[in-house]
Structure 1
Amino acid sequence: MRPVDMSRAEASALVQRIIDVDYVSDDEVDDWLDRLDRALGCPSGHVSGLIVWPPESPHPSVTTQRSMTITSARRRRRRQECEEEAARWEAC
């Protein structure tokens, strides 16, 4: 699936609707969670885990920030791995 463009404010608003159980069906909320995962660059199901754990749901902006922080760390790690691999190839 391709990434979804979504601002931080839009992501927080969607998380708040999920916390408030402001949706019509399970299919609708599943679609929202999928969109959030893709927009924030998270593995499938990751955002839903942040919303339901800890037991008392954090503020939507906290959930969004946690997702973005985890994604940024993964990108930094991947960039470092790519740079190390490029250095190995240059040494050959």
Structure 2
Amino acid sequence: MTEDSIDEVPKWIVSVDRRLILVEYLKTNKIAKASDIAQKTNRSVQNISRALKEFESRGLLECLTPEKSTWKRYVLTDSGRQVLKKMDGKYF
């Protein structure tokens, strides 16, 4: 991910609530699981799963359990950590 695209990602994140919820969760949790986030935020598992897939498709998250169809676990990639760092203090 280039520096320019890293600068654009925060705008993409803040444009949708589910993405902001995911970023807030990732600030304090190393592993993300849709059911855990949904339970803590009163969102549907489907809503959070969509955010996780969006982040994964942009290279911000990596799925640790791709062989599973449910109960997948995700961690931030290096690019994801860079974006989170860039957002800290500016957006939350």
Task: Normalising by structure 2, report the TM-score.
Answer: 0.30
Q: Which has the larger radius of gyration?
A: 1
Higher strand proportion: 2
More helix by percentage = 1
